[in-house]
Amino acid sequence: MAETTPTVQFLSVEGEFAPTEAAEEYASYLDELGEDDLRRFYRQMSVVRRFDLEGTNLQRQGQMALWVPSHGQEAAQVGSASAARPQDHIFPSYREHAVGLVRGIDVLSIVELLRGNTHGGWDPTDPTNGNFHGYCLVIGSHTLHATGYAMGLQRDGLVGTGDDSVDAAVLAYFGDGATSQGDVSEAFVFSASSQTPNVFFLQNNQWAISVPVRVQSRTPLYLRSRGFGIPSVQIDGNDVLASYATTAKHLADARAGRGPQFIEALTYRVGAHTSSDDPTKYRSNAEEQFWIARDPIVRFGAYLRGLGEGDAFFEEVRVEAEDFAADIRSRTLALEAPPIGTIFDHVYSEPHPVMAEQKLWLERYEASFEAAEEDRS
């Protein structure tokens, strides 16, 4: 069945512009892209690739409890996120570093989150954070949050007005493993029932930790949503143009009030699931090499070279990515531990007497060690 799936792809593995038949209906969306946009796609994918490497290194050097690699998924993320408008809302899972970068968050806040310095990382209500909502580690649950949020947009009259600066949609990212969660099916039901402005963007990176996608689903995952009445498409997720064009179209449909849409982006998690995982225990080197040969950045670089981009541009991007990583490193090393009492600060949205009491107790308890230390010296 998978062999006959009509996948949307614009760029061949070698980086030549060779749209598949399924790509034709999306081709006009590429007309919106100028040369600067194409260069920005390459730049952002490269910067995030380097950021991801720095995150991995910093975790190994004891600077973070955990790191979640995004290596390999840059095209799926940069293309789709670039198709969103400022007023759209984004609900990520936990691997969407490139999406966060495109939406304008300071990605150091991802480091702060995974270091345990903050609870949420960034404030999604801060206008500088591009409506990029919090990372969600409870698999699939945020597809329900995204559906609820889209219901709100609908009820606030922000869908289908015909005004490009007003109409909004919600873009939710999740993984192949998440589709096995009941929450995702429930999100599909509610979204289809209310015809909410949702685009469900699945990054099928072939693995849910150590469980391969073929075990989780006997049919291609893009077919899943159709049983719920949600139109769907499968794309080459390592082709940034396919990711951009399909998301642009389906977000436009959602904003216009044509209901929820589903995109399955075929990609690969090249690194470990997280820094706590060792993928050599469950997958083969041959499989990894198959996907590394389909690297999204190498492919898009070849395309840009074909358009006439030269060494100077690629060197400039390399230096920018290095500088970006160096800046992340120095700011990470300068982070200070937050006061211990902050763990109680956001348990309730409003002040709570029990939390206040526990916070005071913990602060006194911690201070007692300092007092004991002073007595000894």
Ligand X SMILES: Cc1ncc(C[n+]2csc(CCOP(=O)(O)OP(=O)(O)O)c2C)c(N)n1
Return the active site residues: 269, 273, 282
**Under 8 Å CB-to-CB from 125, ≥6 apart: which residues?**
none
Amino acid identity, residue 170? V
Cα–Cα distance between 110 and 68 in angstroms, integer?
10
Question: If binding is defined by CB under 6 A, does position 91 make contact with ligand X?
Answer: no
Beta bridge partners of 211: 208
User: Which 230-269 residues touch ligand X, going by CB under 6 A?
Assistant: 269
Question: If binding is defined by CB under 5 A, does position 175 make contact with Mg ion?
Answer: yes
User: Which 218-277 residues touch Mg ion, going by CB under 5 A?
Assistant: none
Q: Measured from the CB of residue 211, what is the shortest distance to ligand X in angstroms?
A: 8
Question: If binding is defined by CB under 5 A, does position 176 make contact with Mg ion?
Answer: yes
Q: Measured from the CB of residue 178, what is the shortest distance to ligand X in angstroms?
A: 4
H or E element: which one contains 200? strand 198-204
| Backbone torsions φ then ψ of 200, nearest 5 degrees | -95, 115
Q: Measured from the CB of residue 70, what is the shortest distance to Mg ion in angstroms?
A: 12
Query: Choosing among ligand X, Mg ion, none, which partner's interface includes residue 43 (Cβ < 5 to 8 Å by kind)?
Result: none
Question: If binding is defined by CB under 5 A, does position 181 make contact with Mg ion?
Answer: no
**Under 8 Å CB-to-CB from 202, ≥6 apart: which residues?**
174, 175, 176, 178, 179, 221, 222, 262, 263, 264, 265
CB of 122 or CB of 174, closer to ligand X: 174
Cα–Cα distance between 34 and 25 in angstroms, integer?
19
Question: If binding is defined by CB under 6 A, does position 78 make contact with ligand X?
Answer: no
Query: Choosing among ligand X, Mg ion, none, which partner's interface includes residue 81 (Cβ < 5 to 8 Å by kind)?
Result: none
Number of H helices, E strands in the chain: 12, 7
Nearest Cα neighbor of 247 from 177, 322, 169 is: 169
The piece of 18-26, 175-183, 277-285, 333-341 that touches ligand X (CB under 6 A) is 175-183
Cα–Cα distance between 44 and 31 in angstroms, integer?
20
Q: Measured from the CB of residue 220, what is the shortest distance to ligand X in angstroms?
A: 15
Q: Measured from the CB of residue 195, what is the shortest distance to ligand X in angstroms?
A: 26
Question: If binding is defined by CB under 5 A, does position 130 make contact with Mg ion?
Answer: no
**Two tokens, residue 97:** 């570093």
Could you say which of 54, 96, 167, 176 contacts ligand X (CB under 6 A)?
Answer: 176
Cα–Cα distance between 314 and 317 in angstroms, integer?
5
Going residue by residue from 123 to 142, which x/- string records binding to ligand X, judged by CB under 6 A? Answer: --------------xxx---
Q: Measured from the CB of residue 260, what is the shortest distance to ligand X in angstroms?
A: 19
The C-alpha R_g of the chain, in whole angstroms, comes to 22
For residue 149, give the DSSP letter. Answer: H
* The Cα angle at residue 127 between residues 44 and 37, in degrees rounded to 5: 25
Going residue by residue from 184 to 223, which x/- string records binding to Mg ion, judged by CB under 5 A? Answer: ---------------------x--x---------------
Query: Choosing among ligand X, Mg ion, none, which partner's interface includes residue 359 (Cβ < 5 to 8 Å by kind)?
Result: none
Query: Choosing among Mg ion, ligand X, none, which partner's interface includes residue 273 (Cβ < 5 to 8 Å by kind)?
Result: ligand X
